[in-house]
Homo-oligomer: A and B are copies of this chain.
Amino acid sequence: MGRRKLQLKRIENKSSRQVTFSKRRGGLIKKARELAVLCDIDVAVVVFSSRGRLYEFSSTNSLACILDRYQRRFDEEAVSQNSVNAEGSHSKYSNRLSHAQLLQIVQRQLEGPNFEQMTVADLVQLEKQLDATLAQTRARKMELMMESLKTLQEKERMLKEEKEHLEKELAAAKNGQDTTAAMTMAMATLPLLR
């Protein structure tokens, strides 16, 4: 949909790829929002730009928490597969080494020319750093998931309240219907209605 039809393949021109990225990213997120609203469901979209920037949309808070983990690069898989090479300095945890980075360092030391100089103390140091980093990661993960759980529990509580209220209203309304039935019978006995 544009002045001409596009082939479904990487746009080679860099600047028009950038423009298309910006436009379509907006379009995608708009559509995600519409889908969520129109159909009353939960939708999440995650977009990584080529320079590692993250754009996301999420129709619910709990999903937002879950998806935030992608950005924070806390997921082990994401860390080992994507961000070791990237600089990832936009994270407030950038001063810590990632798990994967530590492993890489160990690996390099093993294969390097001077691995004989690597002392046990050095490695223990690495080990400790690794441990601290992982503890941090686990703690943050925990925090995020606890947040999610809280949100969901709150939702559940409110829905239950709503349900109770509706049930009361319904009971009251049903009484009204009984009256109707009684009246119908009463009227049937009236000669004028025959």
Contact = CB atoms under 8 A, between A and B. Distances in A.
A84 to B, nearest CB: 12
A163 interface: yes
Given A45-B32, A163-B163, A120 B115 contact: yes
Contacts of A176: 173, 176-177, 180
Given A167-B166, A180-B180, A39 B63 contact: no
Contacts of A153: 152
Contact of A31 (B24, B77, B106, B109): B24
Taking residues whose C-beta sits less than 8 angstroms from the other chain, chain A's interface range is 35 or more
* Chain A binding surface, main DSSP class: helix
A3 interface: no
Interface string A22-39: 001101100110110111
Interface in A147-194: 148-149, 152-153, 155-156, 159-160, 162-163, 166-167, 169-170, 173-174, 176-177, 179-180, 183-184, 186-187, 190-192
B38 A6 contact: yes
A48 B62 CA distance: 12
A184 B183 CA distance: 8
Contacts of A47: 35, 41-44
A34 B105 CA distance: 38
Give the top 5 A-B pairs by smallest Cβ distance, nearest first: A173-B173, A176-B177, A152-B152, A159-B159, A166-B166
16 contacts: A10-B39, A11-B40, A21-B35, A28-B28, A44-B70, A66-B77, A66-B78, A106-B123, A107-B124, A115-B120, A159-B160, A166-B170, A173-B177, A176-B177, A177-B180, A180-B180
